[in-house]
A and B are shown apart, each in its own frame.
Chain A
């Protein structure tokens, strides 16, 4: 699906719509430039899944975890590979251990790593179209 959004709220609404279709256990890649709205999108998704903790940028923390409550989905793991330079660093996160039926994993900047060791179920592309306008491709 291809969406055009003109505000952060609208982007979060698109995320909320996606949230309804999730079954649990999905890996989601968020691909797009600085400030394209990857974190904003995640905030919308976590809120739609009943999360009450504010989603913040995981760039420096690398990995944030949010409790949510939507059927069997109880947890969102939010990762940011922005500061990664070596695939070995990805290993240290033991992501396969985090992949559980009660968990959704979202990753910003999966494309920061030269070799792909990250396999996603859903890929979302964000594109700047000038000012607050963004194209989102799911």
Chain B
């Protein structure tokens, strides 16, 4: 099966073509056009509401990489949610029109499910049940994947996502956007034990997260030490201690879930998977607990359509197709 996938849920306009045969997957093409490239003048901050940018990019991308009459494409997969409605609509309406004109099956995919499928793109196939920690700017969740297309959410954040906390702390420290990598960079020179920031929800028995309190605690600390704000060491200590608190919570919660559900593998998914401190600690801990950890390659941990293609491929194998006329975007789409 040769599958065309389209992703427009966030800042990225992306398409991919993947061929699947049984469990053999071959990614032929994956193109990601970041709106950040296009709009340097925006300082890199482009919210996903820039649906118009998706509109401008979509046809040129398809025109370049896909046969006009759909020849060679067997199935079309598209991100149907979660995300912002106007942005999602560009991808979904395009996919609907193509499926209708080419008379090909159409498969809606949940963006989070796509993230969880990222390791498959590197020729790995985590064994089920797989426990996935999905961390990005908009999400922090623990999801149990019992089989292809079968997901159960164990817990999620009650307020801010982990990636959001990174961005906001970056802002407080006067670092640019996107803030995650900059905080991580600064943290290298800092002492992770310099400040004892709160680790919310660690004692609770469930798998919910909370990062608003941590954000606020960093802010209070900065206000208390206003005179040191310009000292490099102080700022590095804040970054390192903050990052340590986030990593502690994410890893310890994941390990609690490992103990409880005894998965055959653990997957780290989403944009924050690029954080080295998080990767390293999770890797160490998974080794201790003797459960294999799967971390996607960098280009597949960021938003892309290749991951949507894999998820769509397995959905299609299981017959999860819809009539083009019936598909609507769902900004709050849940993973199930």
Residues of A within 8 A of B (CB): 33-35, 39-40, 54, 56-57, 59-63, 65, 83-86, 89-90, 92-94, 128, 130-131
Contacts and interface: CB of A to CB of B under 8 A. Distances in A.
A136 to B, nearest CB: 16
A62 B84 contact: yes
23 contacts: A34-B168, A34-B171, A34-B219, A35-B215, A39-B159, A39-B160, A40-B212, A56-B158, A56-B159, A57-B159, A57-B160, A60-B161, A60-B163, A60-B164, A61-B84, A63-B84, A63-B85, A83-B46, A83-B47, A84-B45, A92-B86, A130-B223, A131-B220
B164 A83 contact: no
B256 interface: no
A39 B212 CA distance: 9
A57 B159 CA distance: 5
B16 to A, nearest CB: 23
Secondary structure call for the A interface: loop
B284 to A, nearest CB: 29
B50 A59 contact: no
B48 A62 contact: yes
B53 to A, nearest CB: 10
B45 to A, nearest CB: 5
A90 B296 CA distance: 34
Which 3 pairs of residues, A with B, have the shortest CB-CB distance? A60-B138, A35-B216, A92-B49
Interface in B141-174: 157-161, 163-164, 167-168, 171-172
B161 A83 contact: no
Contacts of A59: 137, 160, 164, 167-168
Contacts of A40: 212
B50 A92 contact: yes
Interface residues of B, number: 37
Nearest to A56: B159
A40 to B, nearest CB: 7
Nearest to A40: B212
Interface string B292-304: 0000000000000
B106 interface: no
A135 to B, nearest CB: 15
B31 to A, nearest CB: 23
B120 to A, nearest CB: 25
Contacts of B157: 56
Given A56-B157, A59-B164, A35 B219 contact: yes
Q: Which of A35, A83, A86, A130 has the most CB of B within 10 A?
A: A35
B82 interface: yes
B20 to A, nearest CB: 31
Q: Which of A39, A40, A59, A130 has the most CB of B within 10 A?
A: A59
Contacts of A90: 49
Contacts of A83: 45-47
Contacts of B332: 65
A39 B216 CA distance: 12
Given A34-B215, A85-B42, A92 B51 contact: yes
A89 B212 contact: no
B52 interface: yes
A62 B223 contact: no
Given A56-B157, A60-B164, A35 B212 contact: yes
Given A59-B160, A60-B137, A85 B45 contact: yes
A35 B216 CA distance: 5
Given A56-B159, A60-B163, A128 B223 contact: yes
A84 B84 CA distance: 14
Interface in B211-228: 212, 215-216, 219-220, 223
A85 B177 CA distance: 12
A92 B136 CA distance: 24
B43 interface: yes
A86 B42 CA distance: 8
A133 B171 CA distance: 22
B56 to A, nearest CB: 13
A57 B212 contact: yes
A80 to B, nearest CB: 9
